[in-house]
Chain A
């Protein structure tokens, strides 16, 4: 017994080291992007204020270019609103414009937009996240789509605290979305390999898709994060080649914007997100009943 105690006393540093490493490895192995985002959301409640101030100074120097972009975006939206007004006015059976609020309340309008400011953003890790200055108290909820003011895909909200939210960036190796070439309806899978913060990949694009270097790539329209009729830009085709099995194309896309320089974003909430995902899950899990309601067996 004495020898055992003496032996442990001699190697207790090694034991301590192994214990700490074991616990850390276990925590790391069981961590997902979601737990990372949750931790970030909580710690941002503490350090978010300071980061907010630092980014406030940085933000000041980029105001001019942002104002130009916002003005351009406002002009585009004004044009769309004008077009819709005109359509409504000329359509005999259209609803009056004043009823738009009640339409939202009834759930007939599917998407809601809101602006937010980036207070923390990384692009030099394998799993990058963006912290925004708005949280649940401002109406942000998880799974809202995120785009830049000029309509470029940024990611989606992964977690929220009261005052802040964390976005899973397109520059995150866990990020998955779908995209297509403008003018072709075939869909490919968008992901980031972690190599360059200026490029993402689109894999499994049909070999029959018409691709040219320089073609614009946009969101597919089947995503639950972005409206189907909204062409959310991703980037431009830089190169493409057949995959190893020669069954599909792998496309390298140059991103339409430098994410490190983005400081304002627009959040998009899909009111139907939960309903659609619950329905999809029910079908996948076999808990869907044909009566229309989602009920367990």
Chain B
């Protein structure tokens, strides 16, 4: 029960952090880290894919309602949630078949954990920024947004993951 509450708290926490802190920091057009993806990253690695997709869509829908983006966050978050199993398989080097076991997040080696976070953040932001611009005319400009925002986002998400795993999940 406490575990569920931790995840509910994390959901509310990342949404509030994104809306009231990150979105209010105006350091230019290229700075727009989408840190709420941390919630999808932190979901238990052995969670059924259908739940990951549904929770990702719920997260995206919440963000859309809060920011008036009409579906953009749902598109990016759901696709990221859907691709998560493949990314986990790629980073942990595991076959994720029925009989295989998947390590918990806190058992992943640091290097694999970092690769997992980078790929998830990258996947999410590429979909988000490309869909937002919907134009090939400013491709370089969109790429720069992805790179700058993702560098900041990976650092923030890394600390959120470490904090959540060490202080809450490992309690």
Q: How many A-B contacts at CB < 8 Å in the complex?
A: 100
Q: Interface readout for B37-73 with A: 1 if CB under 8 Å, 0 if not? A: 0000000000001100110010010001111111110
B78 touches A13 (CB 8 A): no
Contacts of A196 in B (CB 8 A): 28-29
The docked-state distance in angstroms from the alpha carbon of A122 to that of B66 is 13
A24 touches B74 (CB 8 A): yes
The docked-state distance in angstroms from the alpha carbon of A236 to that of B70 is 35
The docked-state distance in angstroms from the alpha carbon of A126 to that of B60 is 18
Q: Does chain A have a CB within 8 A of B141? A: yes
B75 touches A40 (CB 8 A): no
Q: Does chain A have a CB within 8 A of B19? A: yes
Main secondary structure on chain A at its contact with chain B? Answer: helix
B138 touches A16 (CB 8 A): no
Closest A residue to B21 by beta carbon equals A54
Main secondary structure on chain B at its contact with chain A? Answer: helix
Contacts of A50 in B (CB 8 A): 20
Q: Does chain B have a CB within 8 A of A274? A: no
Contacting A at CB under 8 A, from B63-121, are 64-72, 74-75, 78-79, 82
B50 touches A16 (CB 8 A): yes
The docked-state distance in angstroms from the alpha carbon of A279 to that of B65 is 36
Contacts of A13 in B (CB 8 A): 49-50, 53, 82
B interface residues, tally (CB under 8 Å): 36
The docked-state distance in angstroms from the alpha carbon of A294 to that of B67 is 39
Q: Interface readout for B8-32 with A: 1 if CB under 8 Å, 0 if not? A: 0000000000011001101111111
Contacts of A25 in B (CB 8 A): 71, 75
Which of A17, A124, A193, A194 contacts B82, CB < 8 Å?
A17
Closest A residue to B132 by beta carbon equals A126
A39 touches B65 (CB 8 A): yes
The docked-state distance in angstroms from the alpha carbon of A21 to that of B83 is 13
How distant is A262 from chain B, measured CB to nearest CB, in Å?
A: 11
B70 touches A36 (CB 8 A): yes
The docked-state distance in angstroms from the alpha carbon of A20 to that of B61 is 11
Contacts of B70 in A (CB 8 A): 27-28, 31, 35-36, 39
Closest B residue to A58 by beta carbon equals B24
The docked-state distance in angstroms from the alpha carbon of A27 to that of B138 is 24
Contacts of B65 in A (CB 8 A): 39, 43
Contacts of B131 in A (CB 8 A): 28
How distant is A26 from chain B, measured CB to nearest CB, in Å?
A: 8
Q: Interface readout for A98-125 with B: 1 if CB under 8 Å, 0 if not? A: 0000000000000000000000111111
Q: Does chain A have a CB within 8 A of B6? A: no
A124 touches B29 (CB 8 A): yes
Closest A residue to B57 by beta carbon equals A20
A124 touches B71 (CB 8 A): no
Closest B residue to A26 by beta carbon equals B71
Q: A124-B23, A195-B29 are in contact. List 5 more A-B contacts (CB 8 A).
A: A24-B60, A24-B78, A35-B70, A124-B26, A124-B27
Binding site for A on B (CB under 8 A): 19-20, 23-24, 26-32, 49-50, 53-54, 57, 60, 64-72, 74-75, 78-79, 82, 131-133, 138, 141
